[in-house]
Amino acid sequence: MNNRVNPGFKKELQKFGMSEQWNECFHCGNCTAICPLSENEVLFPRKGIRVIQMGLKDKLASYVEPWMCYYCGECSETCPRDANPGELMMTLRRYLTSVYDWTGMSRKFYTSKWWELSYILFFALLVIVLFLIYLPLRPDAYLMVNESGGVMLNHLVAGISGDQFIRIIEFGDWAMAIIVAFILVSNILNMFYKIILSNKSFKVPFYAYFTEFWRLIYNFVTQSKFSKCDDKNYWVGHMLLMTGYTTMFILVVVALPAFQTEKVVDWYNWQRLLGYYATFGILFFLTVVTIGRIRKKDIKLQYSHSTDWLFIIMLGLTTITGIVLHIFRLAGLPAATYYMYILHLAILVPMIMVEVPFSKWSHLAYRPFAIYFSRLKQVALSKQYSTGLAPAI
């Protein structure tokens, strides 16, 4: 592994939101000692700070430590120099996201808010233009109300049947999902290369890839590392956000024909209950985080990168337009339902295209994979120690 010193690395990290405070660190070790997630094999935040001070850019690319931090804020609260190591871990996660991303888009989004805004506006306008040109509102849309008084959403477009409309939307969903999945999976493979394959000081036993795989699934589903932090409410809130968003993603992308039906089902139907749960989970977390970032009382919410606010705004607008769309549909307002549907997709599509492969939502994948890769490394080193080898990594 190339460990060449890069004197300009600190300036590069400042583009990702790193403040000057971090350099106040004099390595007392308080942050590592108090962190409930720091372990013998994975030490942070101090280890990452030392690598930055030494300018070891290439070595940092193979680190999993920043992903092990869930930013409970205890390290920053107890730092005697106010170096804010917790916020530095957040900066390193942004930076590592750009390191894994072979397209270079993550770097552009994290270092230039205009790049991200332009990308979002492009996809938003694309959705609006495609709808207005190829899927226009039918002249007799006011008749598209079913016996229960709800709008027949799939029949609002001129010239095509409801079945054709839902197939078009479903095709667009799957095309978007395939593109996003390809980018994210290829970035994870790049992450795997930098953490595991590029390090020649250890070799992971083949069986370990299977015996340790359960940790990946377990940590993705439960986010159990959060529960080790003193602030249990943050873990609950994060679980509501993750499960809410995942539920809505599955309903909209995987099960769209069963979810977006013409009949307005009863409130206790699985379709509406899952939708209500997803909406509640997302709105609850967004409300707590938004208030926290405005008040700036909690250490982990005092410093906001532009991408933090853009994520909150985009996810909030997606949820709110979805709620208004649902209200318009129940109220029997065809034209309002049609235009709100376009606006909803014009926010949802760019949010997914930005956040899932390049920004905040990608962390949901990188965190459990980092835990998995860290465990693979531990198994490899344990085996080498048992055979009398002690590699220096």
For the chain, which residues make up each domain, given as ranges?
Answer: 9-100, 116-375
What is residue 382's predicted lDDT score, i.e. its pLDDT?
87
Tokens of 67: 């992903």
Neighbouring-strand partners of residue 145: 151
Class (C level, CATH) for 9-100: mainly alpha
What is residue 255's predicted lDDT score, i.e. its pLDDT?
87
What is residue 184's predicted lDDT score, i.e. its pLDDT?
97
Which residues, other chains included, contact 123 with Cβ-Cβ below 8 Å and sequence gap of 6+?
346, 349, 350, 353
Contact 318, 356 (CB under 8 A): no
Q: Count the residues in the chain.
A: 393
Over the chain (393 residues), the average pLDDT of each successive run of 10 is 70 86 83 81 78 84 88 87 88 94 96 93 97 96 90 94 94 94 97 93 93 93 79 80 89 87 85 93 93 89 90 95 95 96 96 93 92 93 72 50
The span from the CA of 155 to the CA of 169, in Å, is 13
The span from the CA of 309 to the CA of 306, in Å, is 5
By CB atoms closer than 10 A (0-12, 13-18, 19+), residue 28 is middle
The span from the CA of 182 to the CA of 71, in Å, is 29
What is residue 3's predicted lDDT score, i.e. its pLDDT?
63
What is residue 148's predicted lDDT score, i.e. its pLDDT?
82
What is residue 388's predicted lDDT score, i.e. its pLDDT?
60
pTM of the shown model: 0.90
Distance of CA 59 to the CA centre of its chain: 24
